[in-house]
Amino acid sequence: MIYADSPGRLSGQPSTPLLIVGGGIMGLWAAVHAERQGIDAILLDSGRLGQGASGGLLGALMPHMPDKWSEKKQFQFDALLSLEDEIHRLEDATGLQAGYRRSGRLIPLPKAHLRPIAERHNVDARSHWVAGERRFHWHVLDAALSPDWPAPAFVEAGLVHDTLAARVSPRGLGAVLSAYLKTARHVRVIEGAEVVRIDSSADEALLGDWTAIAFGHCIIAAGHRAFPLLEALGDPLPHRLGQPVKGQAALLKAELDPGLPLLYLDGLYIVPHDGGHVAIGSTSENRFDDPLATDGQLEELIERARLLAPCLAQATIVERWAGLRPKAIDRDPMVGAHPDHANVIALTGGFKVSFGMAHRLAEAAIAAVCGGPLGLPAGFSLENHLVAASRKT
């Protein structure tokens, strides 16, 4: 039974069959899957839903390279395809738009030695980027599809046109997921409630105001804050389970065709969105002083973007953004039950691929709640990450 006297407060002796800690992209999808399966749940977030890394600007949904195919790449490929239908399903239910479009991606080839590599990936894509009758391509072109997208100086050896990549508005998708949960029958959302500790012996989550919520199962989907919560469940580890990685991005106003493919070159992403906006990102910083402040690294990124896409030379900067993303010790997503506490389930990590896979990862976390198989690559398991963190150097 859940007791509450307002949307933001709990009273009495609260308890829930499922507690979801964290209202970012992972926790929101977990709550959606819980609602669909009729699982009574509380979703807690320390602030507002989607305010952390999930409230960023970029929204690039880019596949792994089609070479050296593996179960991880297959999982991401399947997730990127299924996300399209999942988003449309939620848009139909809420009447909102998530800003999704399979617009593809352009990758300039500024040096001649990159051309043969791209040609080999073209062959790889023919074998691996296939789902039934659907086929996606890694075309190698001699010239850009549109003037200055990208600038000719960057396509000395041509460029790649990947037809699998897509984009979504991070905030738009967060709003769609949140709106769906507002009408949920089984999931209650409570914002402004920070979980500071999981007491697995008592099956309780302790909040910052000393409220304790009893649970049957607990999914920890609190982004980079999930790592210390999970670490505290077992013996001390010689290495951290993961770390926060700072990212910076910018949003520009530019009247471009929103259907233009994403541009990607050497860590720089340029993503056209609806409404005359273009997102630029992102940095990946393991060391930082202020996690929420932008600095010269972002300004350098913006200047690189204006060179790569001269049509952005006079574009106005609408917003600068910085935030922290969760990077697990093995870089892969971290999902699954704790080996010593089967009713506590991790759902975090995947700092560069979260938006394209979160719906499938959350589905696996809910499967763990129900006692079913995860259906994930072995490297994604929490147990695998715990082993990596226990290795001594």
Query: Do residues 26 and 158 share a domain?
Result: no
Query: Do residues 312 and 256 share a domain?
Result: yes
In the numeric block, which tokens belong to residue 269? 């992403």
Residue 260 lies in a domain: yes
For the chain, how many structural domains are there in total? 2
Q: Which residues have C-beta within 8 Å of that of residue 184, sequence separation ≥ 6?
A: 31, 35
What is the pLDDT tens value at each position of the chain, 393 positions in all? 333 333 444 555 689 999 999 999 999 999 999 999 999 999 999 999 998 999 999 999 999 999 999 999 999 999 999 999 999 999 999 999 999 999 999 999 999 999 999 999 999 999 999 999 999 999 999 999 888 999 999 999 999 999 999 999 999 999 999 999 999 999 999 999 999 999 999 999 999 998 999 999 999 999 999 999 999 998 899 999 999 999 999 999 998 999 999 999 999 999 999 999 999 998 999 999 999 999 999 999 999 999 999 999 999 999 999 999 999 998 899 999 999 999 999 999 988 888 999 999 999 999 999 999 999 999 999 999 999 999 855
Query: Do residues 256 and 316 share a domain?
Result: yes
Query: Do residues 207 and 300 share a domain?
Result: no
270 vs 279: CA distance, rounded Å: 6
User: 347 near 222, Cβ under 8 Å?
Assistant: no
Residue 349 lies in a domain: yes
81-330-235-218 Cα dihedral, nearest 10 degrees:
-10
pTM of the model: 0.95
Residue 298 lies in a domain: yes
Of 328, 361, 382, the residue that ends a domain is: 328
Of 281, 304, 328, the residue that ends a domain is: 328
Nearest to 109, CA basis, from 63, 154, 64: 154
312-318-320-326 Cα dihedral, nearest 10 degrees:
-90
Query: Do residues 238 and 268 share a domain?
Result: no
Q: Write down the pLDDT at residue 11.
A: 52
Query: Do residues 340 and 213 share a domain?
Result: yes
Q: Write down the pLDDT at residue 392.
A: 56
Residue 49 lies in a domain: yes
Query: Do residues 130 and 257 share a domain?
Result: yes
Compute how many other C-beta atoms are within 10 angstroms of the C-beta atom of residue 78: 13
User: 277 near 253, Cβ under 8 Å?
Assistant: yes
Q: Write down the pLDDT at residue 22.
A: 97
71 vs 18: CA distance, rounded Å: 30
Residue 142 lies in a domain: yes
In the numeric block, which tokens belong to residue 136? 């996606």
CATH code for the domain of 33: 3.50.50.60
150 vs 163: CA distance, rounded Å: 16
Query: Do residues 220 and 277 share a domain?
Result: no
Query: Do residues 182 and 232 share a domain?
Result: yes
Q: Which domain holds residue 137?
A: 86-166+243-328
Residue 65 lies in a domain: no
Of 328, 348, 380, the residue that ends a domain is: 328
120 vs 94: CA distance, rounded Å: 43
User: 181 near 189, Cβ under 8 Å?
Assistant: yes
Query: Do residues 146 and 252 share a domain?
Result: yes
User: 336 near 368, Cβ under 8 Å?
Assistant: yes
Q: Write down the pLDDT at residue 352.
A: 85
**Relative orientation angle of helices 114-128 and 71-94, to the nearest 10 degrees:** 70
Residue 188 lies in a domain: yes
Query: Do residues 275 and 350 share a domain?
Result: no
Q: Which residues have C-beta within 8 Å of that of residue 10, sequence separation ≥ 6?
A: 2, 3, 4, 190, 193, 211, 213
Query: Do residues 255 and 161 share a domain?
Result: yes
Residue 92 lies in a domain: yes
CATH code for the domain of 142: 3.30.9.10
